[in-house]
Structure 1
Amino acid sequence: MIAVNDHTEQLAGGWGGTVLRTGGTVRRSTGHWTPAVHELLKHLESVGFEGAPRVFGVDSEGHEVLTFIDGQTAASAEGWPAWLRFEANLVRVARLLRRFHDAVKSFRPGPELQWRDGRRGLRDGEIIGHNDVSLANLVADSTGRIHSLIDWDNAGPTTRRRDLAYAAWHVVGLHARDHARARGWSKAPDVARRLQMFLDAYGLEDHEGFVDDIIACIGEAVRSCRVAVQAGDHGAWPFVALLARDLEFVCQHRSALEQRNHAMRA
């Protein structure tokens, strides 16, 4: 076991539990998924992927111990910082996600490893994805350049396109007007143009049906929030309406999103 240092600082964020910083390490609450996530992070280190924390183990109080990735996050800022909306960072996130997907394609988790959603193993065509590439889980340097992903607790079996669709929803800014305004957009972004930039930066060859992938992703998030509310998590209730409006927004703009991407690929 790794000893707990007395000099600790509680970090902002960490919806999944306690997040403490001790020097150059972060200590976080664990769950049944932690051994699987640690194997994933060890694999990423072994193949040279630099956009994720490294694993040290578990401390004497049962917290996982990871490297602290220095930089700015949305949780450490007042509101949603401007650098999250930069087009240069839109491109950086897409390329970061592509590097991660390429790095993880050789990872074959053992059948004993269970992910947060209860899944084990991989089906044909699946990879282990991050599954939560949202603005809150991005780290930027002092100049606002995004370089890393944090909070890997939701990692698990998925496909490249599903992982990419979830990221596109958040990073492109595919939100209803009130949601976009709350995230710092003083005027509506050109989401069709931003989506095309994002997918081109990732290097997605087949754009056909990708807007439907995003719609399916948001729909699943809405359903998950409703299930949480039904289970007694009343804190999830505000998100049901918020995400439902995002879903309606993308459905209403489906043609424009598809046409822009098809035109740019022609």
Structure 2
Amino acid sequence: MHLTGGPDEIPLLGGDVTDGVVRVGDTVRRPVTSRSPFIHTVLRHLEHAGFDGAPRFLGLDAKGREILDFVDGEVAGRPWPSWVADHDRGISVARLLRRLDDAMQPFGVPDAAEPGARPAGSPEPVGPPDTFVSHCDVTPENTVFRDQVAYAFIDFDLARPTSRAVTVANLLLWWAGWHHPNDRNPVFDDVDVAVRGRALADAYGLDRADREWVPRVSVSIAERSWYSMKDRAERLGGGWQRMWDEGVGDAIRRREEWLRDSQVGLHEALMM
């Protein structure tokens, strides 16, 4: 299905790596990529499953861009507002993520879900086997709130096969402040990040077997992220290169170090 875009295009800024995203009326137009057909299939599945916390895919416009619902609501800009560290908001994100992951269970792990070859030098992932596809990038910029409650996730570009432990590790990275203290966003200055991690795992409903994995999985994600970010910067340039030049690789290494040093305390908090 091809639809014609109107003349009034409003640039949507704030993303790190996707240029050319605009709003046209009640829709969003985005450039397509090699993974777009898979992402469109995911969004169609969620729509058919009755999950209302994601934009609907509406087809392509005359310029070949994908057309998505514009999901109205409150999204964190930069610098992050203080509410990103609010306990209740974080709980609502965890609950929305659980609903998303439950809706994706019947989808399984199709071959087309694989994002590509592992970059040279990147270690094997640690953790349980992949059993479903999830968003895998639930940042504050990708979470839409209504009435201070998480309403929808947008930007499914990094959706890929995962496990409960991995999807919660991604949740804790952004909503529990699981970064090195030197790089942790100031909104988390007064937050006990281990305790917050436990609260979000509880809200998600993560079982004890998967909780055992989360600290180790978090280290593995950081370790592999360094290689994937470097690879994307070299291959794709653009926003990936800008982030690399700004020191994201060093921040990832520091996060890995902090997670390794904090394994015992993070594990104890999760398992209390």
Q: TM-score range by the shorter chain?
A: 0.7 to 0.9
1:157 maps to 2:166: no
Distance 1:52 1:118 in 2: 27
Partner residue in 2 for 1:196: 198
Distance 2:260 2:113 in 1: 34
Distance 1:246 1:140 in 2: 27
**Alpha carbons 1:10, 1:18 under 8 Å: kept:** yes
**Alpha carbons 1:81, 1:184 under 8 Å: kept:** no
Letter of the aligned partner of 1:94 in structure 2? A
Distance 1:110 1:258 in 2: 32
Partner residue in 2 for 1:13: 14
**Alpha carbons 1:26, 1:67 under 8 Å: kept:** yes
Distance 1:162 1:210 in 2: 7
Against the structure 1 CA distance between its residues 125 and 27, is the aligned structure 2 distance closer, same or farther, given a 3 Å change threshold? same
Partner residue in 2 for 1:117: 116
Partner residue in 2 for 1:72: 74
Distance 2:155 2:260 in 1: 29
**Alpha carbons 1:32, 1:114 under 8 Å: kept:** no
Partner residue in 2 for 1:48: 50
**Alpha carbons 2:164, 2:206 under 8 Å: kept:** no
For residues 142-194 of structure 1, give each alpha carbon's deviation from its aligned partner in whole angstroms, at most 9, with x where no partner exists: x43221101001112222221221221111111122322xx232625201100
Number of matched pairs: 254
User: Which one of 137, 145, 149 corresponds to residue 142 of structure 2?
Assistant: 137
Distance 1:78 1:114 in 2: 31
Distance 1:97 1:54 in 2: 17
Distance 1:258 1:186 in 2: 20
Against the structure 1 CA distance between its residues 245 and 109, is the aligned structure 2 distance closer, same or farther, given a 3 Å change threshold? closer
Unaligned runs of 5+ in 1: none
1:210 maps to 2:214: yes
Letter of the aligned partner of 2:72 in structure 1? D
Against the structure 1 CA distance between its residues 83 and 16, is the aligned structure 2 distance closer, same or farther, given a 3 Å change threshold? same
**Percent identity between the two aligned chains:** 30
**Alpha carbons 2:95, 2:203 under 8 Å: kept:** yes
Partner residue in 2 for 1:168: 172
For residues 196-218 of structure 1, give each alpha carbon's deviation from its aligned partner in whole angstroms, at most 9, with x where no partner exists: 00111111112213210111111
Letter of the aligned partner of 1:33 in structure 2? R
SS at match of 1:177: coil
Distance 1:106 1:232 in 2: 33
Instruction: Give the CA deviation at 1:73.
Output: 1.4
Partner residue in 1 for 2:253: 244
SS at match of 2:183: helix
Distance 1:108 1:260 in 2: 31
State the TM-score, normalizing by the size of structure 1.
0.87
Structure 1 vs Structure 2 CA RMSD:
2.3
Distance 1:255 1:109 in 2: 32
SS at match of 2:175: helix
Q: Which has the higher contact order (CA 8 A, sep 6+)?
A: 2
State the TM-score, normalizing by the size of structure 2.
0.86
User: Which one of 14, 38, 60 corresponds to residue 62 of structure 2?
Assistant: 60
SS at match of 2:22: strand
Against the structure 1 CA distance between its residues 70 and 196, is the aligned structure 2 distance closer, same or farther, given a 3 Å change threshold? same
1:256 maps to 2:255: no
Instruction: Give the CA deviation at 1:229.
Output: 5.0
